[in-house]
Amino acid sequence: MLLPLLIGCSGTEPYVAVRHTIMLQPELARDSNGLYILTLMRDRFQTVQRIRGIVTRDDGASLSQEQKIWWESSHSWSFDKGDTIMKIIRRNVNDQGQWVNVDTSIIQAPTDMTVPTVNPTSYTRLDGEVNTMIGPVLPMLGDTMTIIARWYDPWYESDTTQAAMRIILR
């Protein structure tokens, strides 16, 4: 004989969405206006820099799980179809102990491609630390780049929070 089993919830407390705050803390100097400064390397096309932040719950509790953070940048760059993306040089050591190039391959862009200057997503650690990398390129020298980090609750979009920072590329 099978007996039906009924399970229910009798809790009367409504769900309270937990709001989050993002603070960006890059390891960059600031100018007198509070803008961050990134000195681009002049001997290479792209300069990479880590951007660190902290995500906290507004109720002061620890994060219960890692949180996904979306990143956006005001800047991007592009390849046109047929542009050389990279050159691969394979080499070996000869009998005299010298490097010798044995093969070179050219990789070309198959289509027009836009390259973002910030990785689009990352996850926090349980302590709230979040990191991403930016990669402005030398032709952006003199620009001011804006980076936005965003957290949102897919169930309560009104709880979306974000932080922005501006970086002078010099």
pLDDT at residue 20 in the model: 86
Structure-token match 């970086």, residue found: 167
pLDDT at residue 158 in the model: 76
Domains of the chain, CATH where assigned: 20-74+117-169 (2.60.40.10), 76-115 (no CATH)
Query: How far, rounded to the nearest angstrom, does the alpha carbon of residue 65 sit from its chain's CA centroid?
Result: 19
Nearest to 77 by CA among 117, 43, 45: 117
Contact 153, 159 (CB under 8 A): yes
Whether 156 has a pLDDT exceeding 90, the answer reads: no
**From CA 112, how far away is CA 117, in angstroms rounded?**
16
Q: For residue 37, which amino acid is it? A: I
Model confidence at 100, pLDDT cuts 50, 70, 90, reads very high
Q: What is the mean pLDDT of the chain?
A: 90
Rg of the chain in Å (alpha carbons): 24
Residue 112 bridge partners (DSSP) = none
pTM listed for this prediction? 0.79
Contact 136, 40 (CB under 8 A): yes
How do residues 101-129 score in pLDDT, each as one tens digit? 999 999 999 999 999 999 999 999 999 99
Contact 121, 71 (CB under 8 A): yes
How do residues 55-97 score in pLDDT, each as one tens digit? 999 899 988 899 999 999 999 999 899 998 889 999 999 999 9
Whether 5 has a pLDDT exceeding 70, the answer reads: no
